[in-house]
Structure 1
Amino acid sequence: MIPLLLKEHYKGDDRYSNIKTMYTIHNLRYQGVFSNRHIEDTLSIPRFHLDEGNIEYYGGINFMKAGIVYSDKVSTVSPTYANEIQTKYYGEGLDGLIKENGYKLKGIVNGIDYEINNPEVDKNIVCNFNIESIGKKIKN
């Protein structure tokens, strides 16, 4: 909900006008679907965000849907996952919304690229090491 709350609560404050947000999807199955009964009093979000369909989800509100709609960029844990979640099979009911927002979707490989960050040959660390010399890692 942070991208929506930022846009809604701070849209008139110049100090926040240039802040951009990125929403990262790790697992599309866990979307944060809740009742919409407290949207105005607890979250202080005007009801039109719900009524326009931007956060509405089968009569409730969907926090992930809000993140996708209101963020400036959306990332996933890999390029493959970014493609998969745009299909009906993997889309968990949000595939259409994700396709619609595909222009801001990017899959970023989760983890370390050992071609670039190889501790055996990395010139940017104090002491190179590998699995056999893992004790040297502490020098870094």
Structure 2
Amino acid sequence: MDKYRIIVKGIVKSLDKYLIVEKWFDDRIQDPYQWGFIDGAINFGESPDRAVVRIIAEDTGLCVQIDRVLYTWSFMAGDTCTIGISYLCLTGMEDVLLSEELHNYRWITKDEFEQYIDNQDVLNDIECAGLE
């Protein structure tokens, strides 16, 4: 039987800055905390649009509006195919209240992405999406 998992990613923008969060990935790597964007799994029966708004609110306390879908991605892990949808989400709020799963946050400009985000595939996708 085919196994699929759907993930949504929210790239949150306020004015000219983007929200990145630091989260734990794996104790077996040199730097177990890594910077990235808000993401999470869609609940059964939930639309991707509702899921990204919910996940951002749960993880940061921010209210957002979806601007547009930026890009999609997929990868295989064992016998499960994960499919991802990345959204640009806008907010007028800047005060973040992190969930317990997240370690830290920063508001950064697009020019600063490479200083924090190590995943070259994510950086390439963002570049192709044409963020301003």
Give TM-score, length-normalised by structure 1. Answer: 0.30
**Greater percentage in strand:** 2
Q: In terms of Rg, which structure is larger?
A: 1
**Greater percentage in helix:** 1
Give TM-score, length-normalised by structure 2. Answer: 0.31
